[in-house]
Amino acid sequence: MQLHHSKHHQTYVNNLNAAEEQLGEALQQGNVTKVVALQQAIKFNGGGHINHSIFWKNLSSEGGGQPSADLMDQIHIDFGTFENMQNQMTAATVAVQGSGWGWLGYSKQNGGLRVLACANQDPLEGTTGFVPLLGIDVWEHAYYLQYKNVRPDYVKAIWNVVNWKDVQERFVTARQS
């Protein structure tokens, strides 16, 4: 986790800052070609920064268990049972090809919850409109040192450190906005 935070996340932040600076210059110069060319770097690094900022809050050493209150009610509405949601999210996350994230997302359109997956560092809200509540990073850097290629074991274990208080707060905030 240390490496994940101090190296990977830090690199996204550094690269995002650099890309934003270049974007500012390109906009000032009216250089549309360069503006377009920078979009990829902004998506990668901006997404990487957004996603990891959520990830650290989503986890807690005192986490695990199940959510309560409003979030649990909504999970029952959209998935039937908590286990169903967990199984769906686990399956979708493990099935990500290459690098990416599994997400529990909130639809501002209909107030419902949905399991989704994104490739690379594509930010959930920026690319799909769904508000990210809970994310599971399945870039190999997230689990390789501890689990090697056994991604299913990592995804199974991460449920033990989910900070449901944080996920609930995101749900309530998303609903209110």
Partner 1 sequence: MKAIKNNGGGYLNHALYWTVLAPNPNNEYRHPEGKIAEDIMNTFGNFSIFKNIFTDVSSSYFGSGYVWLCRDFNIGHGSHLMIATTANQDFPLSEGLHPILGIDLWEHAYYLKHQNARAAYIDDWWHVVSWDAVAQLDKWWSKRNMHDEL
Binding residues for partner 1 (CB under 8 A): 3, 7-8, 11, 40, 44, 97-99, 119-121, 139-141, 144-145, 148-149
CB proximity list for 173: less than 8 A, separation 6 or greater:
none
Question: Between residues 2 and 28, which has the closer beta carbon with respect to partner 1?
Answer: 2
Task: Find the shortest distance in angstroms from Cβ 91 to partner 1.
Answer: 14
Task: Find the shortest distance in angstroms from Cβ 131 to partner 1.
Answer: 24
Q: What is the CA radius of gyration of the chain?
A: 17
Place of tokens 């949905």: 114
Task: Find the shortest distance in angstroms from Cβ 29 to partner 1.
Answer: 23
CA distance 169 to 177: 12
Question: Between residues 40 and 81, which has the closer beta carbon with respect to partner 1?
Answer: 40
60: helix, strand or coil = coil
Question: Between residues 35 and 42, which has the closer beta carbon with respect to partner 1?
Answer: 42
CA distance 119 to 98: 8
Burial status of residue 134 (CB atoms within 10 A of its CB: 0-12, 13-18, 19 or more): buried
Task: Find the shortest distance in angstroms from Cβ 121 to partner 1.
Answer: 8
Place of tokens 């490496």: 3
Question: Between residues 86 and 121, which has the closer beta carbon with respect to partner 1?
Answer: 121
Place of tokens 């005192």: 62
Task: Find the shortest distance in angstroms from Cβ 22 to partner 1.
Answer: 14
Query: Among residues 171, 162, 166, 161, which one has the least CA distance to residue 71?
Result: 171
Question: Between residues 40 and 53, which has the closer beta carbon with respect to partner 1?
Answer: 40
